[in-house]
Amino acid sequence: MNFTTNRTGGWCTAALAAFFLVAPPMAAVAQTTDSDAEPAPQVPEITFTSWTGPYMRSQMLGFVRPYEDENDTRVHVAHYNGGIDEIRDQVESANVIWDVVDLTQADSLRACNEGLLEDLSDVDLPAGADGTPAQDDFVEGALNECGVGVIVWATAFAYSNSAFGDNPPTTINDFFDEETYPGARAIRDDPTVIMEWALIADGVAQEDVYATLETPEGVERAFDKMESIRSGLQLWQSGREPVRMLNAGEVTMSMIWATTGATASQEEGADFTVNMDGRVVELDLFGIPKGSQNKDAAIEFIRYASSTEALAGMVSHLPNGPTRNSSLELLSEETLAQIPNGPAYEDQVHILSDAEWWAANHERLEEAFDIWMSAGARQGAAGTVR
Protein backbone atom coordinates (compact mmCIF):
# COMPACT_ATOMS: atom_id res chain seq x y z
CA MET A 1 0.00 0.00 0.00
CA ASN A 2 1.40 3.38 -0.91
CA PHE A 3 0.99 6.11 1.78
CA THR A 4 1.69 9.71 0.78
CA THR A 5 1.82 12.93 2.80
CA ASN A 6 -0.89 15.55 2.13
CA ARG A 7 -1.96 18.99 3.55
CA THR A 8 -4.49 17.43 5.85
CA GLY A 9 -1.85 15.50 7.75
CA GLY A 10 -1.97 12.12 5.91
CA TRP A 11 0.54 9.41 6.80
CA CYS A 12 3.68 8.83 4.77
CA THR A 13 5.20 5.36 4.66
CA ALA A 14 8.18 6.30 6.84
CA ALA A 15 6.04 7.93 9.49
CA LEU A 16 3.73 4.94 9.62
CA ALA A 17 6.67 2.58 10.04
CA ALA A 18 8.00 4.73 12.86
CA PHE A 19 4.62 4.60 14.62
CA PHE A 20 4.57 0.79 14.65
CA LEU A 21 8.12 0.75 16.00
CA VAL A 22 7.46 3.00 18.97
CA ALA A 23 3.77 2.54 19.77
CA PRO A 24 3.11 0.01 22.59
CA PRO A 25 0.68 -2.83 21.98
CA MET A 26 -2.96 -2.03 22.81
CA ALA A 27 -2.90 -4.51 25.70
CA ALA A 28 -0.02 -2.60 27.22
CA VAL A 29 -1.98 0.64 26.91
CA ALA A 30 -4.90 -0.96 28.73
CA GLN A 31 -2.55 -2.16 31.46
CA THR A 32 -1.42 1.39 32.19
CA THR A 33 -5.01 2.39 33.07
CA ASP A 34 -6.13 -0.77 34.87
CA SER A 35 -4.66 0.51 38.13
CA ASP A 36 -6.60 3.77 37.93
CA ALA A 37 -9.68 3.90 40.21
CA GLU A 38 -12.86 3.43 38.23
CA PRO A 39 -15.41 6.23 38.74
CA ALA A 40 -18.46 5.20 40.76
CA PRO A 41 -21.52 4.58 38.59
CA GLN A 42 -23.70 7.70 38.56
CA VAL A 43 -27.24 7.45 39.89
CA PRO A 44 -29.75 8.18 37.10
CA GLU A 45 -31.31 11.63 37.22
CA ILE A 46 -34.97 11.78 38.21
CA THR A 47 -37.74 14.38 38.20
CA PHE A 48 -39.44 15.04 41.54
CA THR A 49 -42.77 16.90 41.35
CA SER A 50 -44.22 18.62 44.39
CA TRP A 51 -46.01 21.72 45.63
CA THR A 52 -43.93 24.87 45.43
CA GLY A 53 -43.21 27.77 47.81
CA PRO A 54 -42.17 27.20 51.45
CA TYR A 55 -43.18 23.55 51.25
CA MET A 56 -40.90 22.82 48.31
CA ARG A 57 -38.11 24.75 50.05
CA SER A 58 -38.45 22.50 53.09
CA GLN A 59 -38.11 19.44 50.85
CA MET A 60 -35.17 20.88 48.93
CA LEU A 61 -33.28 21.54 52.16
CA GLY A 62 -34.57 18.49 54.02
CA PHE A 63 -33.81 15.72 51.53
CA VAL A 64 -33.41 16.76 47.87
CA ARG A 65 -30.05 18.56 48.18
CA PRO A 66 -28.68 16.02 50.70
CA TYR A 67 -29.68 13.16 48.38
CA GLU A 68 -27.93 14.84 45.45
CA ASP A 69 -24.76 15.40 47.47
CA GLU A 70 -24.61 11.88 48.87
CA ASN A 71 -25.32 10.18 45.54
CA ASP A 72 -23.49 12.51 43.15
CA THR A 73 -26.56 13.02 41.00
CA ARG A 74 -29.12 15.61 40.05
CA VAL A 75 -32.79 15.73 40.98
CA HIS A 76 -34.87 17.81 38.59
CA VAL A 77 -37.72 19.50 40.46
CA ALA A 78 -41.11 20.42 38.99
CA HIS A 79 -44.22 21.77 40.68
CA TYR A 80 -47.98 21.41 40.33
CA ASN A 81 -51.17 22.30 42.20
CA GLY A 82 -52.28 18.78 43.08
CA GLY A 83 -54.83 16.45 41.54
CA ILE A 84 -54.17 13.49 39.26
CA ASP A 85 -55.13 14.88 35.85
CA GLU A 86 -51.52 15.52 34.79
CA ILE A 87 -50.43 12.07 35.93
CA ARG A 88 -53.33 10.51 34.04
CA ASP A 89 -52.41 12.43 30.88
CA GLN A 90 -48.78 11.29 31.09
CA VAL A 91 -49.64 7.65 31.71
CA GLU A 92 -52.37 7.44 29.07
CA SER A 93 -50.15 9.08 26.44
CA ALA A 94 -47.14 6.88 27.33
CA ASN A 95 -45.19 10.06 27.92
CA VAL A 96 -44.30 9.84 31.60
CA ILE A 97 -41.87 12.63 32.48
CA TRP A 98 -42.33 12.66 36.27
CA ASP A 99 -40.60 10.01 38.35
CA VAL A 100 -41.72 10.81 41.91
CA VAL A 101 -44.78 12.89 42.84
CA ASP A 102 -45.91 14.28 46.19
CA LEU A 103 -49.64 13.44 46.38
CA THR A 104 -52.36 14.02 48.92
CA GLN A 105 -53.51 10.78 50.50
CA ALA A 106 -56.86 10.88 48.68
CA ASP A 107 -55.16 11.54 45.33
CA SER A 108 -52.69 8.74 46.04
CA LEU A 109 -55.54 6.30 46.55
CA ARG A 110 -57.49 7.55 43.52
CA ALA A 111 -54.47 7.33 41.23
CA CYS A 112 -53.61 3.89 42.58
CA ASN A 113 -57.15 2.63 42.02
CA GLU A 114 -57.00 3.91 38.43
CA GLY A 115 -53.74 2.09 37.78
CA LEU A 116 -51.78 5.32 37.35
CA LEU A 117 -49.06 4.56 39.93
CA GLU A 118 -46.42 1.88 40.34
CA ASP A 119 -46.92 -0.74 43.06
CA LEU A 120 -44.67 0.09 46.02
CA SER A 121 -46.01 -2.51 48.45
CA ASP A 122 -42.85 -4.63 48.21
CA VAL A 123 -40.35 -1.78 48.60
CA ASP A 124 -37.95 -2.44 51.48
CA LEU A 125 -38.15 0.81 53.44
CA PRO A 126 -35.44 1.50 56.04
CA ALA A 127 -36.26 0.98 59.70
CA GLY A 128 -36.61 4.00 61.94
CA ALA A 129 -33.52 5.54 63.51
CA ASP A 130 -34.57 3.89 66.77
CA GLY A 131 -34.76 0.47 65.10
CA THR A 132 -38.56 0.38 64.72
CA PRO A 133 -39.58 -1.54 61.55
CA ALA A 134 -40.95 0.79 58.87
CA GLN A 135 -44.41 -0.78 58.96
CA ASP A 136 -44.70 0.12 62.65
CA ASP A 137 -42.94 3.48 62.43
CA PHE A 138 -45.22 5.22 59.92
CA VAL A 139 -48.47 6.76 61.14
CA GLU A 140 -51.78 5.22 60.12
CA GLY A 141 -52.57 5.79 56.44
CA ALA A 142 -49.00 6.72 55.48
CA LEU A 143 -48.37 3.46 53.63
CA ASN A 144 -50.58 2.08 50.89
CA GLU A 145 -50.10 -0.11 47.85
CA CYS A 146 -48.80 2.79 45.76
CA GLY A 147 -47.62 5.34 48.31
CA VAL A 148 -45.10 6.12 51.06
CA GLY A 149 -45.85 8.88 53.56
CA VAL A 150 -44.24 12.33 53.53
CA ILE A 151 -46.06 14.67 55.92
CA VAL A 152 -49.03 15.11 58.20
CA TRP A 153 -50.57 18.50 57.45
CA ALA A 154 -53.75 20.43 58.05
CA THR A 155 -56.10 22.96 56.53
CA ALA A 156 -57.18 25.67 58.97
CA PHE A 157 -58.74 29.12 58.70
CA ALA A 158 -57.14 32.55 59.04
CA TYR A 159 -58.68 35.92 59.80
CA SER A 160 -57.72 39.54 59.20
CA ASN A 161 -56.31 41.24 62.30
CA SER A 162 -57.34 44.71 61.20
CA ALA A 163 -60.88 43.61 60.34
CA PHE A 164 -61.73 42.19 63.75
CA GLY A 165 -59.42 43.89 66.22
CA ASP A 166 -60.10 42.81 69.80
CA ASN A 167 -63.02 40.54 68.86
CA PRO A 168 -61.51 37.90 66.54
CA PRO A 169 -63.26 34.68 65.51
CA THR A 170 -62.36 31.73 67.73
CA THR A 171 -64.12 28.66 66.28
CA ILE A 172 -64.84 27.16 62.89
CA ASN A 173 -68.50 28.11 63.43
CA ASP A 174 -67.43 31.75 63.19
CA PHE A 175 -66.17 31.18 59.66
CA PHE A 176 -69.82 30.86 58.59
CA ASP A 177 -71.12 33.73 60.76
CA GLU A 178 -71.03 36.78 58.49
CA GLU A 179 -73.43 38.68 60.76
CA THR A 180 -70.99 38.75 63.67
CA TYR A 181 -67.85 38.61 61.52
CA PRO A 182 -68.67 40.40 58.26
CA GLY A 183 -66.59 40.36 55.13
CA ALA A 184 -65.73 38.20 52.14
CA ARG A 185 -64.40 34.66 52.57
CA ALA A 186 -61.98 32.62 50.46
CA ILE A 187 -61.84 28.84 50.11
CA ARG A 188 -59.86 26.41 48.00
CA ASP A 189 -61.43 25.48 44.66
CA ASP A 190 -62.30 21.99 45.85
CA PRO A 191 -65.13 20.37 47.83
CA THR A 192 -62.80 18.85 50.44
CA VAL A 193 -62.58 20.58 53.84
CA ILE A 194 -65.25 23.21 53.19
CA MET A 195 -67.99 20.56 53.16
CA GLU A 196 -66.71 18.97 56.38
CA TRP A 197 -66.52 22.43 57.95
CA ALA A 198 -70.06 23.30 56.87
CA LEU A 199 -71.52 20.20 58.51
CA ILE A 200 -69.53 20.63 61.72
CA ALA A 201 -70.66 24.27 61.91
CA ASP A 202 -74.23 23.07 61.35
CA GLY A 203 -74.07 20.78 64.35
CA VAL A 204 -73.05 17.43 62.85
CA ALA A 205 -70.77 15.41 65.15
CA GLN A 206 -67.25 14.90 63.85
CA GLU A 207 -67.66 11.13 63.68
CA ASP A 208 -70.84 11.49 61.59
CA VAL A 209 -69.57 13.91 58.95
CA TYR A 210 -68.80 11.39 56.19
CA ALA A 211 -71.88 9.30 56.80
CA THR A 212 -73.90 12.50 56.43
CA LEU A 213 -72.13 13.48 53.20
CA GLU A 214 -72.90 10.02 51.88
CA THR A 215 -76.55 11.04 51.46
CA PRO A 216 -78.11 13.59 49.07
CA GLU A 217 -79.72 15.24 52.09
CA GLY A 218 -76.35 15.60 53.79
CA VAL A 219 -74.78 17.18 50.72
CA GLU A 220 -77.68 19.61 50.49
CA ARG A 221 -77.28 20.42 54.17
CA ALA A 222 -73.63 21.32 53.62
CA PHE A 223 -74.43 23.58 50.69
CA ASP A 224 -77.22 25.25 52.65
CA LYS A 225 -74.71 26.14 55.36
CA MET A 226 -72.24 27.36 52.76
CA GLU A 227 -74.87 29.81 51.48
CA SER A 228 -74.07 31.98 54.50
CA ILE A 229 -70.66 32.83 53.00
CA ARG A 230 -71.63 32.99 49.33
CA SER A 231 -71.58 36.80 49.23
CA GLY A 232 -68.17 37.81 47.87
CA LEU A 233 -66.86 34.24 48.07
CA GLN A 234 -63.52 33.81 46.32
CA LEU A 235 -61.63 30.69 45.29
CA TRP A 236 -57.94 29.93 45.41
CA GLN A 237 -56.01 27.06 43.87
CA SER A 238 -52.56 27.26 45.42
CA GLY A 239 -51.44 28.11 48.87
CA ARG A 240 -49.90 31.59 48.89
CA GLU A 241 -53.00 33.11 47.32
CA PRO A 242 -54.98 33.33 50.60
CA VAL A 243 -51.96 35.03 52.17
CA ARG A 244 -52.11 37.73 49.50
CA MET A 245 -55.90 38.05 49.78
CA LEU A 246 -55.78 38.51 53.54
CA ASN A 247 -52.89 40.97 53.51
CA ALA A 248 -54.52 42.99 50.72
CA GLY A 249 -57.83 43.19 52.58
CA GLU A 250 -59.69 41.40 49.79
CA VAL A 251 -61.17 38.93 52.30
CA THR A 252 -61.56 38.96 56.06
CA MET A 253 -61.31 35.19 56.48
CA SER A 254 -59.86 32.41 54.37
CA MET A 255 -59.23 28.71 54.35
CA ILE A 256 -55.46 28.26 54.48
CA TRP A 257 -52.84 25.52 54.65
CA ALA A 258 -51.86 25.69 58.28
CA THR A 259 -48.07 25.63 58.07
CA THR A 260 -47.92 27.93 55.05
CA GLY A 261 -50.20 30.34 56.88
CA ALA A 262 -48.32 30.12 60.16
CA THR A 263 -45.04 30.90 58.42
CA ALA A 264 -46.49 33.71 56.30
CA SER A 265 -48.21 35.31 59.31
CA GLN A 266 -44.75 36.05 60.73
CA GLU A 267 -43.57 37.87 57.62
CA GLU A 268 -43.14 41.63 57.61
CA GLY A 269 -46.42 43.37 56.78
CA ALA A 270 -48.58 40.30 57.52
CA ASP A 271 -52.05 41.21 58.83
CA PHE A 272 -53.66 37.91 59.71
CA THR A 273 -53.71 35.12 62.29
CA VAL A 274 -54.18 31.38 61.76
CA ASN A 275 -56.72 29.58 63.95
CA MET A 276 -56.44 25.79 64.24
CA ASP A 277 -59.96 25.13 65.51
CA GLY A 278 -61.81 22.86 63.10
CA ARG A 279 -58.63 21.96 61.22
CA VAL A 280 -58.83 19.02 58.85
CA VAL A 281 -55.76 16.82 59.18
CA GLU A 282 -54.46 15.03 56.08
CA LEU A 283 -51.38 13.22 54.74
CA ASP A 284 -49.16 13.51 51.69
CA LEU A 285 -47.47 10.47 50.15
CA PHE A 286 -44.79 9.84 47.54
CA GLY A 287 -45.88 7.99 44.41
CA ILE A 288 -44.26 6.89 41.13
CA PRO A 289 -46.29 7.40 37.92
CA LYS A 290 -46.87 4.14 36.06
CA GLY A 291 -44.28 3.77 33.31
CA SER A 292 -41.51 5.89 34.84
CA GLN A 293 -38.28 5.27 32.90
CA ASN A 294 -36.32 5.65 36.14
CA LYS A 295 -38.36 3.46 38.47
CA ASP A 296 -35.39 1.94 40.33
CA ALA A 297 -33.79 5.34 40.92
CA ALA A 298 -37.16 6.75 41.96
CA ILE A 299 -37.55 3.99 44.56
CA GLU A 300 -34.10 4.72 45.96
CA PHE A 301 -35.01 8.40 46.22
CA ILE A 302 -38.21 7.55 48.11
CA ARG A 303 -36.32 5.23 50.46
CA TYR A 304 -33.94 8.08 51.27
CA ALA A 305 -36.54 10.86 51.47
CA SER A 306 -38.85 8.87 53.74
CA SER A 307 -36.16 7.99 56.28
CA THR A 308 -36.34 9.18 59.89
CA GLU A 309 -33.61 11.76 59.38
CA ALA A 310 -34.86 13.11 56.04
CA LEU A 311 -38.42 13.64 57.29
CA ALA A 312 -37.16 15.34 60.45
CA GLY A 313 -34.89 17.53 58.35
CA MET A 314 -37.79 18.60 56.13
CA VAL A 315 -40.09 19.36 59.06
CA SER A 316 -37.42 21.45 60.77
CA HIS A 317 -37.70 23.91 57.87
CA LEU A 318 -41.52 24.02 57.83
CA PRO A 319 -43.55 22.66 60.76
CA ASN A 320 -45.67 19.98 59.14
CA GLY A 321 -45.90 16.71 61.02
CA PRO A 322 -43.53 13.91 59.93
CA THR A 323 -45.17 10.62 58.95
CA ARG A 324 -42.63 8.61 60.97
CA ASN A 325 -42.98 8.52 64.74
CA SER A 326 -39.21 8.11 65.09
CA SER A 327 -38.73 11.53 63.44
CA LEU A 328 -40.47 13.21 66.38
CA GLU A 329 -37.50 12.38 68.59
CA LEU A 330 -35.27 14.54 66.38
CA LEU A 331 -37.46 17.66 66.43
CA SER A 332 -36.96 20.68 68.65
CA GLU A 333 -39.53 21.62 71.27
CA GLU A 334 -40.33 24.72 69.21
CA THR A 335 -41.13 22.63 66.13
CA LEU A 336 -43.15 20.09 68.11
CA ALA A 337 -45.29 22.93 69.43
CA GLN A 338 -46.23 23.98 65.89
CA ILE A 339 -46.97 20.80 63.98
CA PRO A 340 -50.70 20.28 63.18
CA ASN A 341 -50.87 16.87 64.87
CA GLY A 342 -48.84 18.00 67.88
CA PRO A 343 -49.87 18.33 71.52
CA ALA A 344 -50.37 22.11 71.30
CA TYR A 345 -53.72 21.75 69.52
CA GLU A 346 -55.13 18.58 71.05
CA ASP A 347 -57.91 20.46 72.86
CA GLN A 348 -59.27 22.10 69.71
CA VAL A 349 -61.89 20.61 67.40
CA HIS A 350 -60.37 18.77 64.45
CA ILE A 351 -61.23 16.03 62.01
CA LEU A 352 -59.08 13.40 60.32
CA SER A 353 -59.81 13.53 56.62
CA ASP A 354 -61.14 10.19 55.41
CA ALA A 355 -58.94 9.76 52.35
CA GLU A 356 -60.52 6.48 51.25
CA TRP A 357 -63.97 8.06 51.41
CA TRP A 358 -62.82 11.05 49.37
CA ALA A 359 -61.09 8.80 46.84
CA ALA A 360 -64.44 7.10 46.25
CA ASN A 361 -66.63 10.23 46.39
CA HIS A 362 -64.52 13.16 45.20
CA GLU A 363 -65.73 13.08 41.61
CA ARG A 364 -69.37 13.10 42.70
CA LEU A 365 -68.96 16.00 45.13
CA GLU A 366 -66.63 17.94 42.85
CA GLU A 367 -69.38 18.01 40.25
CA ALA A 368 -71.94 19.14 42.85
CA PHE A 369 -69.51 21.76 44.17
CA ASP A 370 -68.88 23.18 40.69
CA ILE A 371 -72.62 23.43 40.07
CA TRP A 372 -73.10 25.21 43.39
CA MET A 373 -70.25 27.61 42.69
CA SER A 374 -71.51 28.41 39.19
CA ALA A 375 -74.70 29.74 40.74
CA GLY A 376 -73.04 33.01 41.60
CA ALA A 377 -69.77 32.86 43.52
CA ARG A 378 -66.85 34.94 42.30
CA GLN A 379 -63.53 33.24 41.74
CA GLY A 380 -60.27 34.80 42.88
CA ALA A 381 -57.04 34.76 40.90
CA ALA A 382 -54.96 31.62 41.11
CA GLY A 383 -51.90 31.81 43.32
CA THR A 384 -48.44 30.34 42.92
CA VAL A 385 -47.47 28.25 45.91
CA ARG A 386 -48.68 25.91 48.58
Task: For residue range 346-384, list pLDDT tens digits in order.
Answer: 777 789 999 999 999 999 999 999 999 998 644 444 333
* Averaged pLDDT, 130-158: 96
pLDDT at 121 over 80: yes
pLDDT above 80 for 296:
yes
Position with higher pLDDT, 297 vs 16: 297
Residue type, 74: R
Question: Mean pLDDT in the chain?
Answer: 88
Contact indicator for 186, 255 with CB cutoff of 8 Å: yes
Kindly state the average pLDDT of the residues 103-124. Answer: 96
Q: What is the pLDDT of residue 156?
A: 96
pLDDT digits (tens, 9 = 90+) for 176-203: 999 999 999 999 999 999 999 999 999 9
Question: Would you place residue 41 in the very low, low, confident or very high pLDDT band (cuts 50, 70, 90)?
Answer: low
Say whether pTM exceeds 0.85: no
- Provide the percentage of residues in the chain whose pLDDT is more than 70: 87
Q: How many CB atoms lie within 10 A of CB 195?
A: 25
What is the pLDDT, as a whole number, of residue 379? 44
Residue 217 has pLDDT above 50, yes or no: yes
For residues 233-237, average pLDDT: 94
Number of Cα atoms under 13 Å in the Cβ half of residue 140: 7
358: helix, coil or strand?
A: helix
Phi first, then psi, for residue 158 (nearest 5°) are: -125, 155
pLDDT at 123 over 60: yes
Task: Determine the angle formed by the axes of helices 216-226 and 194-201, rounding to 10 degrees.
Answer: 90
Alpha helices by DSSP H, the chain: 13-22, 26-34, 54-59, 65-71, 85-92, 105-113, 134-137, 161-164, 172-175, 194-201, 209-213, 216-226, 241-248, 258-264, 295-305, 308-317, 333-336, 355-373
11 pLDDT exceeds 70?
A: no
CA distance 111 to 99: 14
> What pLDDT was estimated at residue 28?
43
Complete DSSP assignment for 127-167:
PPTTS--HHHHBPTTSEETTEEEEEEEEEEEEEEHHHHTTS
User: 62-79 pLDDT, tens per residue?
Assistant: 999 999 999 999 999 999
Task: Choose between 170 and 17: higher pLDDT.
Answer: 170
**Coil, strand or helix: which one is 210?**
helix
pLDDT above 90: residue 37: no
* Spatial contact of 270 and 162, defined as CB atoms under 8 Å apart: no
The residue-averaged pLDDT of 126-130 equals: 97
pLDDT higher than threshold 80 for residue 31:
no
Residues 144, 117: Cα–Cα separation, whole Å: 11
Look at residue 268 and tell me whether its pLDDT is greater than 80. yes
CA distances from 167 to 91, 160, 170, 354 (A): 51, 11, 9, 33
Cα–Cα nearest to 206, from 304, 278, 310: 278
For residues 167 and 271, give the distance between their C-alpha atoms in angstroms, rounded to a whole number.
15
Confidence of residue 40 (pLDDT cuts 50, 70, 90): low
- The mean per-residue pLDDT over the stretch 271-294 comes to 96
Decide if pLDDT at 8 tops 80: no
